[in-house]
Structure 1
């Protein structure tokens, strides 16, 4: 199927409508990096007129999940994927356009290769950093993914 930003955005419209309505859009997706944009708007704001933490979490998780899906596709194997842990830190109010970026493609590929080789699940921790239009980090999310090649 070839996972691309356009295909993920279309998939989201039908299968993850809350993400679509919140303004989540995949902007960059290659073997190493995924960037997702989300814009502060009425539908994803908190009572303090900034972006709700859960909207930021959706964008951050999408950066990691899209990279995992792309690496699985490229492995030509069936691999199960599951988030097993998540942590977040918030540094500044999220307003305007926020770009979340994960640069963990290489780590994911290594974990999938090891799972295929050993037939055992592997765990990877992926970081997604959210920056505002001035390039200031507003939040950082850490997602632990469990990856296991299926027999």
Structure 2
């Protein structure tokens, strides 16, 4: 029997179910073309294209669309760890920092490899019963492998009473 983490990963890898999740829970990301391309317990890669719905007036991808993709690369890893947990665990972003280096004019891929650190943080929140936080990093690159942006998200986890 697969673990709850593996069950959630299978849902995110399913082409229809993952899109339905985005449409229902993150409609702005869905319509912007944000898609999960790779997901495991350790790492997640998410893409966002430059297209009409995600553009800004400066002929590049709007920063908020880039931030959505970056947040999903960290948030999917966090959701893997809190999915159907007993006791239930809430998750919330409490801080975000962003650095943009280059215009995003094509597909930008954001990757976060903090899955194991997120797992340890959630387990610590459950063990202590106190809120725990972790800073996660999502790095965005273009099709040429050039760095477009780097975003840091501070996630807070707390068991629900």
Range into which the TM-score falls when normalised by the shorter chain: over 0.9
How far has the Cα of 1:43 moved from its partner? 1.1
1:47 aligns with 2:57: yes
Q: State the match for 1:93 in structure 2.
A: 103
Kindly provide the CA deviation profile for residues 66-97 of structure 1, in whole angstroms up to 9, marking residues without a partner as x: 00000112755410000000010000000111
CA distance in 2, matches of 1:33, 1:82: 19
The normalised TM-score by structure 2 is 0.89
Q: Tell me the equivalent position of 1:115.
A: 125
Change (3 A) 1:22 1:132: same
Q: Secondary structure at the match of 2:130?
A: coil
Q: Work out the CA distance in 1 between the residues paired with 2:25 and 2:33.
A: 14
Shift of 1:5: 3.1
Stretches of structure 2 that go unaligned for 5 or more consecutive residues are: none
Q: Does 1:131 align with 2:141?
A: yes
1:9 aligns with 2:19: yes
Separation in 2, partners of 1:106, 1:16: 24
TM-score of the superposition, structure 1-length normalised? 0.94
Match of 1:147 among 122, 146, 157: 157
Q: Matches of residues 1-80 of structure 1 in structure 2 within 5 Å?
A: 2-3=7-8, 4-6=12-14, 7-73=17-83, 75-80=85-90
Residues 30-72 of structure 1, C-alpha deviation per residue, up to 9 Å, x if partnerless? 1100110111011111111000100000000001110000011
What's the RMSD between the two structures over aligned residues?
1.4
Equivalenced residues, count: 151
3-state SS of the aligned residue for 1:133? Answer: coil
Query: Secondary structure, in 3 states, of the residue corresponding to 2:83?
Result: helix
Gapped regions of structure 1 (runs ≥ 5):
none
